[in-house]
Amino acid sequence: MAKLLTEDVVKQIEEAFAPMKEAVHIMFFGQKEGCDHCADTQRLLEEVVAISDKLSIEIYDLDDDADLAEKFNVDKAPGTVIAGKDGETVSDYGIRYAGIPSGHEFTSLIQDILLVAGRDSGLAQETRDFLKELTEPVLLQVFVTPT
């Protein structure tokens, strides 16, 4: 089966991943039936993970692993969680993808991996202080449609 990522793209990603210091763990949630993009998404993520030894991936089924999916707030397949990994500890940073991260979303996927690897949001201290004062959960969702 042909690879989804070309050699040129893999080289670019290798360069981007070279300074990664911390491990990143990808949790992929697919479904056995009724999921048009699950196989391609899983294959894409596996190709990305193969680029760096700082990356790991675990494959789950949205139905069979419903408790874990609920724990990580994944309710769509394909669903992807980008998390930190320190030894056996998985740290959830709240980064989720619903659908296949292709096109412009692929760049966002790579940037999110780098963000988690850096263990720093890049937010200004003023913003961090504001966020600490929030007393209720906030759900922030960004929807993208290929056009």
Q: How far apart are the first and last CA of the chain?
A: 27
- Three-state DSSP state, 105: helix
pLDDT above 80 (res 24): yes
Partners of 89 in beta bridges: 86
pLDDT at residue 138 tops 90: no
Q: What is the pLDDT of residues 34-55, one digit of tens each?
A: 999 999 999 999 999 999 999 9
pTM of the predicted model as reported, rounded to 2 decimal places: 0.88
Take residue 105 and report the two structure tokens written for it. 């979303």
Q: What single-letter DSSP state applies at residue 109?
A: H
Q: 29 in helix, strand or coil?
A: strand
Say how many C-beta atoms besides its own lie within 10 A of residue 18's C-beta: 9
pLDDT score of 62: 96
**pLDDT confidence band for 144 (50 / 70 / 90):** low
CATH number for 7-121: choose from 1.10.10.10, 3.90.110.10, 3.40.30.10, 3.40.470.10: 3.40.30.10
